[in-house]
């Protein structure tokens, strides 16, 4: 069903089992798991899929070595298990990443963890080599379930500087361990939605539909594209509003204070020297006040993050100058001979962690674990229970979704039918594991479709085995390269619009592709994409101008990407 058909369906059939509000990774994961159990479920997001915290993460699939110090052993064990599952189930988007910690002292931070356990210290301190070594031994032990990557290694100064010649010579040693990362978390979200809608006729996802009101057993939804509203009558509501959870509950009719969000920003730099210096590793270190900094390779560019600053309204999260200056200083601390400056920034992004409300003075100490906070039907007068999904890591979304689904199933009095543990995600299905198997796969699809081996390889790297679906669509009509960006073609973009529900130009360049992230969005590319969208979505020339202005505003104000709107129309 297309968007209009889905909306019309619920207008005629407002009684539904579950409404999930918020299509970040936790809402999407719950949507998939509920659909797998045969539960009728509607997922809505007031903006695009994965446009909240889920597109603002540091892109790490990790256990979170530093949470060991906060004694969050359950979280670390669960996240490491989930990380390993992601490498298995989404091999097209989850990639191993060697992570190196430059260490400037041997003995610092020795008493930090014990004092924290005893609640005698709330402030962080820089950790030295001994503490980091102990932490990594523990991390290796926790990671042993479904082990897929090597254990850690400590290099003394000389050998570390041989591997990283531009690293600050003041280090005493460097430790390397393995974690993993996801270049395109937004695409994992899209794959999960696509999988779910293929899996069940009773599961539908709508972007740009807000939950605006509640009570008397109904939730009022507003189509943000038309302003029209409709009411649905769910048996259970899952509030997966991430940092907006308390705002959603307020709109439904119940004041809560579950969330104490913190803002985190990141930059993408075009700095080939820094890219070479990190040598394929994430470089992960602490400022001398204990704040975490990471520098990682990002598709030929370099990503730097992050900050951790309390914020009241998640809509206000935008990278500011102070953060940019801080990141520059941090880079220079570890790679003092490399020139870094703000002119190298091609993209920045900021988001809010949906952390539980807390009065801890140091935000880094607030638990990163997740919990389900119910508001019962009787308590709220809303006429349905609302389960709010507080906190959590991107990495552990599957486990959190499973726990939420179990809670919903018990309320609906239904049994669990299947598990997502071994479910491959999107283009991770039937993924060829070895390089030679991948080369054969690419060759085979190239022969089948007549597209060149290089072209299929590009599609494979972008979409995993869904490359075949893209290639099949692309040859089914006249195609041409995008003006100014030959790595993409017109029909590939059309497929992203039709199959993946891109509604605005910003959806396309921020979340269906990395075009804006990598500095590839020239005025020429922007103009061509606007033409294709206008044609595909049947925009009038006024609407097209509005869409161009909207995308230019979001890209400029939120991401530092300046694009000039082309002067008029299709
Ligand atoms: C700076 C930063 C770095 C991070 N780094 C990592 C990391 O490296 N690894 C890791 O594992 N985790 C990381 N995380 C944590 C992880 O990204 C989040 O915990 C996770 O993405 C939260 O997902 P969510 O679905 O709960 O929330 P969100 O992704 O924020 O989704 C909530 C959705 O609700 C929607 N919504 C709000 N109001 C309404 C309404 N009224 N109606 C309909 N929809 C509504 C929003 O539009 C939004 O899309 C990081 C987070 C941040 C912010």
Annotate 278-322 with three-state secondary structure.
Answer: HCCCEEEEECCCCCEEEEEEECCEEEEECCCEECCCHHHCCCCHH
Mean predicted confidence (pLDDT) in 176-181:
94
Residue 263 clears pLDDT 70, i.e. is over it: yes
- 376 pLDDT band, cuts 50/70/90, is very high
Distance from Cα 40 to the centre of ligand 1, integer Å: 24
- Lowest mean pLDDT of 165-179, 369-383, 396-410, name the range: 369-383
Task: Please name the residues in contact with 546: beta carbons below 8 A apart, sequence gap of 6 or more.
Answer: none
pLDDT at 112: 59
pLDDT at 570: 42
Q: Report the range of poorest mean pLDDT among 77-91, 129-143, 181-195, 210-224.
A: 129-143
- Bridge partners, 220 (sequence order): 213, 231
Q: What distance in angstroms lies between residue 452's CA and the mean position of ligand 1's atoms?
A: 38
Residue nearest to atom 35 of ligand 1 (CA): 22
Q: Are 253 and 214 in contact (CB under 8 A)?
A: yes
Angle CA 297–188–490, to nearest 5: 85
Helix axis angle, 397-412 to 25-36, nearest 10°: 50
Cα Rg for the chain, rounded, in angstroms?
24
- 305 beta partners: 266, 294
Cα-Cα-Cα-Cα dihedral sign, residues 555, 569, 484, 59: positive
**pLDDT at residue number 136:** 87
Q: Any alpha helices (H) in 101-233, and if so which ranges? A: 112-117, 129-142, 157-163, 185-199
Q: What percent of the chain has pLDDT over 70?
A: 95
The CA-to-CA distance between both ends of the chain, in Å, stands at 28
Atom of ligand 1 nearest to the CA of 306: 1
Report the separation in Å between the CA atom of 54 and the middle of ligand 1, taken as the mean of its atom positions. Answer: 4
| Ligand 1 pocket by Cβ (under 6 Å) | 21-27, 44-47, 51-54, 56-60, 210-211, 240-244, 248, 251, 264, 306, 351-354, 389, 392-395
Q: Which of the four pLDDT bands, split at 50, 70 and 90, describes residue 23?
A: very high
Ligand 1 atom showing the smallest separation from residue 44 Cα: 43
Q: How far is C-alpha 369 from the chain's CA centre?
A: 17
The CA distance from 290 to 127, in Å, is 8
The average pLDDT across 147-153 equals 81
Report the predicted TM-score, pTM, of the whole model to 2 decimal places.
0.95
Centroid of ligand 1 to alpha carbon of 320 (angstroms): 20
Whether 568 shows a pLDDT value over 70: the answer reads: no
User: CA–CA separation, 132 vs 472, rounded Å?
Assistant: 50
State the Cα–Cα distance between residues 350 and 345, nearest whole angstrom: 14
Q: Does 534 or 566 have the greater pLDDT score?
A: 534
Band (pLDDT 50/70/90 cuts) for residue 72 is: confident
Residue with the larger pLDDT of the pair 128 and 234: 234
Task: Write the secondary structure of 473-504 as one string of H (helix), E (strand) and C (coil).
Answer: HHCCCCCCEECCEEEEEHHHHHHHHHHHCCCC
Take residue 263 and report the two structure tokens written for it. 């803002």
User: 518 CA distance to ligand 1 centroid (A)?
Assistant: 22
Band the pLDDT of 115: cuts 50, 70, 90: low
What mean pLDDT is predicted for residues 108-121? 56
Q: Summarize pLDDT for 444-461 with one digit per residue, the tens.
A: 999 999 999 999 999 999
Contact yes or no for 505/526 (Cβ under 8 A): yes
Provide the pLDDT for residue 365.
Answer: 72
Atom of ligand 1 nearest to the CA of 27: 25
Distances (CA, A) of 551 to 42, 221, 536: 27, 24, 17
**Structure-model confidence comparison of residues 106 and 493, the more confident one:** 493
**What's the angle, vertex CA 503, arms to CA 319 and CA 46, rounded to 5?**
60
- Is 484 exposed, middle or buried, given 0-12, 13-18 or 19+ CB atoms closer than 10 A? middle
Q: Positive or negative CA dihedral for 334, 339, 342, 348? A: negative
Instruction: Take residue 145 and report the two structure tokens written for it.
Output: 């379930």
**Closest approach atom of ligand 1 to CA 370:** 19
- Integer CA distances (angstroms), 499 to 3, 64, 191, 465, 493, in order: 11, 35, 11, 16, 10
Q: How far is CA 471 from CA 432, 442, 458, in A?
A: 17, 11, 11
Say how far apart CA 144 and CA 337 lie, in whole Å.
Answer: 38
Lowest pLDDT segment from 249-263, 285-299, 320-334: 285-299
**CA 558, CA 51: separation in Å to the nearest integer?**
12
Residue 122 binned pLDDT confidence (cut-offs 50, 70, 90): low
Residue among 19, 47, 54 whose CB has most ligand 1 atoms within 8 A, to mutate: 54
**CATH numbers and ranges of domains, the chain:** 3-53+186-260+368-412 (3.50.50.60), 94-181+275-353 (3.30.9.10), 431-559 (1.10.8.870)
Query: 297 pLDDT band (50/70/90 cuts)?
Result: very high
Residue 496 CA, ligand 1 centroid: distance in Å: 22
If we measure between CA atoms, which residue out of 280, 303, 295 comes closest to residue 96?
Answer: 280
pLDDT of residue 317: 97
Q: What is the mean pLDDT of the chain?
A: 93
């Amino acid at each position: 069903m297309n968007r209009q058909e889905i909306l019309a369906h619920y207008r005629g059939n407002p009684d539904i089992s579950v409404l999930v509000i918020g299509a970040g990774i936790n809402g999407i994961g719950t949507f998939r798991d509920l659909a797998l159990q045969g539960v009728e479920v509607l997922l809505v997001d007031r903006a695009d899929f994965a446009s909240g915290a889920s597109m603002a993460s540091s892109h790490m699939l990790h256990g979170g070595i530093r949470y060991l110090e906060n004694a969050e052993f359950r979280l670390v064990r669960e996240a490491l298990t989930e990380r390993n599952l992601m490498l298995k189930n989404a091999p097209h988007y989850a990639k191993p990443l060697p992570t190196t910690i430059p260490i400037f002292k041997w003995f610092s931070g020795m008493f930090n963890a014990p004092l924290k356990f005893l609640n005698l210290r709330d402030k962080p301190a820089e950790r030295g080599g001994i503490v980091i070594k102990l932490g990594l031994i523990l991390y290796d032990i926790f990671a042993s379930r479904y082990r897929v990557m090597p254990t850690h290694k400590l290099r003394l100064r000389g050998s570390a500087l041989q591997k990283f010649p531009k690293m600050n010579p003041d280090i005493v040693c460097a430790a390397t361990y393995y974690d993993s990362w996801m270049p395109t978390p937004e695409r994992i979200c899209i794959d999960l939605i696509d999988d779910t809608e293929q899996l069940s006729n009773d599961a539908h996802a709508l972007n740009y539909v807000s939950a605006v009101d509640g009570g008397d057993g109904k939730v009022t939804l507003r189509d943000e594209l038309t302003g029209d509203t409709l009411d649905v009558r769910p048996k259970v509501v899952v509030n997966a509003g991430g940092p907006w959870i308390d705002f959603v509950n307020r709109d439904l009719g119940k004041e809560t204070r579950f969330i104490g969000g913190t803002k985190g920003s990141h930059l993408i730099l075009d700095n080939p020297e820094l890219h070479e210096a990190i040598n394929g590793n994430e470089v992960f270190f602490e400022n001398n006040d204990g704040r975490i900094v990471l520098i990682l390779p990002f598709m030929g560019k370099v990503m730097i993050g992050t900050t951790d600053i309390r914020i009241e309204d998640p809509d206000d999260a935008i990278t500011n100058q102070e953060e940019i200056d801080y990141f520059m200083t941090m880079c220079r601390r570890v790679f003092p001979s490399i020139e870094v400056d703000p002119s190298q920034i091609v993209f920045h992004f900021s988001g809010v962690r949906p952390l539980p409300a807390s009065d801890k003075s140091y935000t880094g100490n607030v638990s990163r674990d997740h919990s389900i906070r119910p508001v019962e039907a009787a308590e709220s007068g809303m006429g349905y229970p609302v389960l709010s999904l507080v906190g959590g890591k991107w990495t552990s979304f599957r486990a959190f979704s499973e726990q939420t689904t179990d809670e919903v199933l018990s309320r609906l009095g239904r049994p669990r039918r299947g598990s997502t543990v071994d479910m491959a995600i999107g283009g991770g299905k039937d993924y060829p594991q070895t390089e030679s198997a991948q080369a054969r796969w690419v060759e085979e699809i190239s022969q089948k479709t007549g597209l060149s081996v290089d072209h299929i390889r590009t599609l494979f790297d972008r979409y995993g085995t869904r490359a075949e679906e893209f290639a099949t669509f692309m040859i089914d009509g006249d195609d041409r390269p995008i003006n100014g960006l030959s790595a993409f073609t017109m029909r590939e973009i059309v497929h992203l619009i039709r199959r993946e529900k891109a509604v605005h130009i910003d959806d396309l360049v921020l979340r269906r592709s990395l075009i804006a992230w990598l500095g590839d969005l020239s005025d020429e590319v922007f103009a061509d994409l606007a033409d294709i969208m206008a044609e595909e979505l049947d925009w009038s020339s006024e609407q097209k101008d509005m869409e161009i202005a909207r995308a230019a505003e979001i890209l400029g104000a939120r991401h530092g990407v300046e694009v000039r709107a082309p002067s008029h129309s299709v």
